[in-house]
Amino acid sequence: MSGRDPDRRKALLDAADRVIMKEGPEVSMAAIAAEAGITKPILYRHFGDKRGLYQALADRHVRTVIAQLRPRLGDSGADLRGRARAAIGVYLDLITANLNLYRFLFHRASAEDSRVRSHMTSLVRGLGEELGGLLAAERVVPDPVRAQVLGHAFVGMVQTTGDWWLDHPEVDRAQVVEGLVDVIAAAITRRNARAGRGAGRNRGPTRTTPPPPQGSPR
């Protein structure tokens, strides 16, 4: 059967998901092939090699996470804190519900191959660019360069903090979410406040009515 058959590829990725979730991030390629009912060479034939399988899994799961974050980030009916809280909550819920898959992709696969790591980075970077564009388009951060800086910073911060939290399950989820929301809100509001003060300074001195000449009627 052709390695380009999308249904067959989907079935193989489903098998990989099942065995990774069951056995953990250190699962062998032989175990993935056995779960799919094929040999390891046939598994590689469908994806080119192990790297191809890693990239296919990354595309499947990272894009799924991004697709679920978009509606929360783009919810114009919610305020900044509400949108940030919803998006962060969705992200943390997704990585905890798929813990072995998360660690397989972000720890094992990225560590084993630099091109896989680069591929994963480009997917995450795309979300940072999208968030920066959203901040600028909605005038949350009017300066487009500053918006991109903050967009990438927020995505990186949430990802790194989520990774830390997975190793510290004793920390309350709500505490993690609110801590991240506080940082995001503070970064935006402080920047906008400074911009407002700067605009006030640039308007020049306030004109006042000169006093009447001495001795003139008031």
Instruction: Tell me the CB-side half-sphere exposure of residue 186, using CA atoms within 13 A.
Output: 6
Q: How far apart are CA 114 and CA 55, in angstroms?
A: 12
Instruction: Quote the pLDDT of residue 217.
Output: 46
190: pLDDT strictly greater than 80: no
206: pLDDT strictly greater than 80: no
Q: Taking a C-beta distance cutoff of 8 angstroms, is the pair 138, 77 a contact?
A: no
2: pLDDT strictly greater than 80: no
The string of DSSP letters for 91-154 reads HHHHHHHTHHHHHIIIIIIHHH-HHHHHHHHHHHHHHHHHHHHHHHHTTSS-SHHHHHHHHHHH
Terminal Cα-to-Cα distance of the chain (whole angstroms): 100
Reported as a single tens digit per residue, the pLDDT across 44-63 is: 989 988 899 999 999 999 88
Instruction: Quote the pLDDT of residue 165.
Output: 97
> What mean pLDDT, rounded, does the chain reach?
86
Reported as a single tens digit per residue, the pLDDT across 69-124 is: 999 988 888 898 999 999 999 999 999 999 999 999 999 998 988 888 898 899 89
3: pLDDT strictly greater than 60: no
Q: How far apart are CA 195 and CA 166, in angstroms?
A: 37
Q: How confident is the model at residue 38 (pLDDT cuts 50, 70, 90)?
A: very high
CB atoms within 10 A of CB 80: 15
Q: Which residues have C-beta within 8 Å of that of residue 40, sequence separation ≥ 6? A: 29, 30, 33
> Which is nearest to 45 in space by CA: 57, 35, 33, 34?
33
pTM: 0.80
Reported as a single tens digit per residue, the pLDDT across 119-174 is: 889 989 999 999 999 999 999 999 999 999 999 999 999 999 999 999 999 999 99
Reported as a single tens digit per residue, the pLDDT across 13-23 is: 999 999 999 99
Q: Which residues have C-beta within 8 Å of that of residue 189, sequence separation ≥ 6? A: none
Instruction: Quote the pLDDT of residue 159.
Output: 95
Instruction: Quote the pLDDT of residue 191.
Output: 54
> Which is nearest to 20 in space by CA: 57, 66, 75?
57
Question: Diameter of the chain by CA atoms?
Answer: 106
Q: How far apart are CA 25 and CA 107, in angstroms?
A: 8
Instruction: Quote the pLDDT of residue 193.
Output: 55
Q: How far apart are CA 102 and CA 81, in angstroms?
A: 26
Residue 172 DSSP symbol: -
**If you average pLDDT over residues 178-202, what whole number do you get?**
73
Q: How far apart are CA 109 and CA 119, in angstroms?
A: 11
